[in-house]
Amino acid sequence: MAVPYGRKSRTKSRMQRAANMKYSAKVAARCTNCSAPKMPHYACGACGAYAGRQARPVAAE
């Protein structure tokens, strides 16, 4: 069995962990109005709703 040549630094371990975390954060929230995937704490890109109100005009249809 292969043996690691040297201990991986704290930075390198954390860089690898952060790269893997990116993929799980892609669909973190869904719009409560139209259930489209959206970024948390952002207005919905599809319908413009945020916190139960119209935060910005609806995107071109």
Q: Which residues bind Zn ion (CB under 5 A)?
A: 31, 33-34, 36, 44, 46-47, 49
Nearer residue to Zn ion within complex by CB, 34 or 39: 34
Nearer to Zn ion, 21 or 51 (CB): 51
Q: Is the distance from CB of 36 to CB of 46 less than 8 angstroms?
A: yes
| Exposure of 29 in the CB half-sphere (CA atoms within 13 A) | 13
Task: Give the pairing type, strands 53-54 and 37-38.
Answer: unpaired
Across-strand partners of 32? none
Nearer to Zn ion, 36 or 39 (CB): 36
Q: In the bound complex, what is the minimum distance in angstroms from residue 16's beta carbon to Zn ion?
A: 34
